Amino acid sequence: MRSNHIILVNEQDEALATMEKLEAHQKGLLHRAFSVFIVNSKNEMLLQQRASGKYHSAGLWTNACCSHPMPGEEVEQAAHRRLQEEMGFDCPVKKLFTFTYQASFDNGLTEHEYDHVFLGTFDGVVIPDEEEVAAYAFYPLAEITRQIRDTPDRFTYWFKVAFPMVTELL
């Protein structure tokens, strides 16, 4: 039950309450989230294509992993947990920045997130969870920039917002 609940926050990321994940997305309430970006030693970024069974943004390309910390879980701890669960590896990560965004989807759900963005470097083997990830690849940053410019509908909303901010810090 705990893993189905997310942390509702205010604009300063102060916890207000917890709520079942789907209900929070139906109501479009601001909640705590995180996004993990991974690069390899060639400065290529790991992207994943979200699995077809995801409740929103299915089939779209995005950063290595993203999710919500569970109640009582530190954000960085949650980032490590989900990186292992979704991509089958873990590595050191550092927090880069936070940002808030709101995006509505065709299925009536709304992401309204206070997103903590982390960056890690990894050159090992990726073993994605097939229920979470349809495909993955490492791409040069210039190629990702070109793809976002030429085919923006292939990428998640939050990735298109965060990617330029991440690349400025690389």
| CATH of residue 65 | 3.90.79.10
Q: Is the pLDDT of residue 1 over 90?
A: no
- Pick the catalytic residue from 11, 65, 66, 131: 66
Q: Is the pLDDT of residue 132 over 80?
A: yes
Concerning whether 65 is annotated as a catalytic residue, the answer is no
3-state helix/strand/coil string of 91-143: CCEEEEEEEEEEEECCCCCEEEEEEEEEEEECCCCCCCCCCCEEEEEEEEHHH
In the numeric block, which tokens belong to residue 115? 């997103």
Average pLDDT, the chain: 96
Average pLDDT of the residues in 10-19: 98
- Contact assessment for residue 115 and residue 95, using Cβ atoms and an 8 Å cutoff: no
- Pick the catalytic residue from 113, 131, 143, 168: 113
What domain range is 20 assigned to?
2-169
Concerning whether 66 is annotated as a catalytic residue, the answer is yes
- Alpha-carbon dihedral angle through residues 106, 62, 101, 115, given to the nearest 10 degrees: 130
> Count of domains in the chain?
1
Q: Is the pLDDT of residue 98 over 70?
A: yes
Q: Per-residue confidence at 5, pLDDT binned at 50, 70, 90? A: very high
Tokens 């879980």 belong to: 73
pTM, whole model, 2 decimals? 0.96
Residue 57 dihedral angles phi and psi, to the nearest 5° = 60, 25
What distance lies between CA 34 and its chain's CA centroid?
Answer: 6
